[in-house]
Amino acid sequence: MSRLFVPSPRGPVHLDEVGEETRFEPWSATTGFRPVASVGGVPLMDIVERFGTPAYVVDEADVRGRCRAWRTALPDADILYAAKAFLCRAMATWIRQEGLGLDVCSGGELAIARSVGFPAERIVFHGNAKTPHELAEAVEHGVGRIVVDNLAEIPRLAMLVQPGRRQKVLLRIIPDVEAGAHAAIRTGGQDQKFGLSLDSGEAGAAVARVLRQPELRLVGLHCHIGSQIRTTEPYERAVRIMAEQLAAIRDTYGIVLPQLDLGGGMGIAYLAAEQGLTPDAYATAVTKALQERCAALDLPVPRLTVEPGRSISGPAGLTLYRVIAVKRTLTRTFVAVDGGMSDNPRPSLYGARYTARLIGRRSARIDRRVTLVGHHCEAGDVIAEDVPLPSDIKPGDVIVVPATGAYHHSMASTYNLTGRPPVVAVADGAARLVVRREEIDDLLRRDVGL
């Protein structure tokens, strides 16, 4: 049965011939496979021929649609895109144009933002161990808020503020609520490197110290409980705890902090059987929990800040690979491609799972479960386990992997001295290079020799 693709701000939706809606996760909003595989109106094989493989592709319309969905779901909140998920000049420009703020956590991310004229007041600077140079750059640039993560940062930051100015700060609190798909990305518990502990008294000490610094202005609290969270319940628990801390500060110091930043971590679908946490679902649950807890505490509802990263860029990306070899053992079939853990470290780091699809030709053969692997010298260089691909898959074929727009380019490496892939943006039937491929000459240029 043929399908007509219709992009939707709620996520990718397809309409069949009788108008029945079906979700099309984990593919981006403009992805289609008939008559040919395409994204943003651009045939994927045209991208392969023009830019080679491996290559990241980013669906600009999908990014913009997800930005608007978050703004629509939370019209009275500050929506900050978490730059660590994926940032380049093009991405920063789209985020700026869509009216979102930017959450950065390094001098490099701040530099990208500055290079495209991102408004400083819409930038929040994070980090558990910001260097003195990074703090100085953030203050000098006039970023809107700096998130204080440790006690040592308070006097260091205060010394950098010029006379007559006050730097707005948030305190990152550990709510002791952990959530996320893997232990390595659960960040809201007591045994993490992030944040100020309530149990140890460090958080309370930080409040007192910031309030004693005339160069600093405490405007609110911040927390981040984890990543790849696909249910609202952990956020509801966190927001209640954070509201209680705002009330405790009011009762102790007689001040009402106007802001509450709940961080990000909203999950997406990586497989067809999964479903991401939508902006509407998040907004409904979190605002209800916040309003109810504030009412019970007789506390004014603070202005909410949220930091979606993966949920904006993740579904908008896909990666193109060329098959290099097919190897059949007694128990498994390995399909090896020209990329791997250097462009997608998530399976080896977190046990992340992906799907894949053959493009560029049609196959009438039945699917066989295979292990999609990379070309690196590591047994753990696996892109996707147990993936259905046609049984006649062969060297030279092209494979596309969806949902690779977050924590792929940003975490890519040059392992085995393999250059990082390019980033190609697609929109309105046109493809353009936004980050060029890293060539061998780039790698040699950094090696100064003896």
- Summarised one tens digit per residue, pLDDT across range 295-315 is 999 999 999 999 999 999 999
pLDDT at residue 354 in the model: 96
Cα 324 to Cα 11: distance, rounded to the nearest angstrom: 34
CA distance 166 to 216: 5
Contact in structure between 332 and 404 (CB atoms under 8 Å): no
pLDDT for position 124? 98
Average pLDDT of the residues in 384-399? 97
Please report, for the chain, how many H helices and E strands are present, in that order: 12, 23
Could you give the 3-state DSSP secondary structure of residue 129?
Answer: coil
pTM of the predicted model over 0.85: yes
In which order are the strands placed within the sheet that holds 21-23?
Answer: 3-6, 13-16, 21-23
Is the distance from CB of 124 to CB of 80 less than 8 angstroms? yes
Q: What per-residue confidence (pLDDT) applies to 3?
A: 31
354, two tokens: 């992906």
Q: What is the pLDDT of residue 191?
A: 63
Distance between CA atoms of residues 158 and 176, nearest Å? 28
pLDDT at residue 187, as a whole number: 46
Give the number of C-alpha atoms closer than 13 A to the C-alpha of residue 84, restricted to the C-beta side: 15
**From its phi and psi, is residue 197 left (phi > 0), alpha (psi between -120 and 50) or beta?**
beta
Is 202 a residue whose pLDDT tops 80? yes
Whether omega for the bond prior to residue 175 falls within 30 degrees of 0, making it cis, is: no
CATH 3.20.20.10 fits 63-312, yes or no: yes
What confidence tier does 389 reach under pLDDT thresholds 50, 70, 90? very high
Domain chopping of the chain, boundaries: 40-58+315-445, 63-312
Binning pLDDT at 50, 70 and 90, where does residue 19 land?
very low
At 199 the pLDDT is: 87
Rounded distance, CA 369 to CA 390, Å? Answer: 9
- C-alpha–C-alpha distance, residues 323 and 395, integer Å: 5
pLDDT at residue number 194 = 77
Q: pLDDT band at 23, cuts 50/70/90?
A: very low
User: Looking at 169-183, 250-264, 270-284, 334-348, which range is the least confident one?
Assistant: 169-183
Query: 424 pairs with which residues across the strands?
Result: 57, 433
Range scoring the smallest mean pLDDT among 6-15, 25-34, 322-331, 368-377: 6-15
At 179 the pLDDT is 57
Of the candidate ranges 101-110, 190-199, 274-283, the one whose mean pLDDT is the lowest: 190-199
40-58+315-445 maps to which CATH number? 2.40.37.10
Predicted confidence at residue 24, as pLDDT, reads 72
Q: Give tens-digit pLDDT for 41-67.
A: 999 999 999 999 999 999 999 999 999
Task: List residues with catalytic annotation.
Answer: 377
Q: Is pLDDT above 70 for 155?
A: yes
pLDDT of 405 reads 98
Q: Which is nearest to 210 in space by CA: 256, 152, 267, 268? A: 152
Torsion of CA 389, 413, 120, 317, to 10 degrees: -10
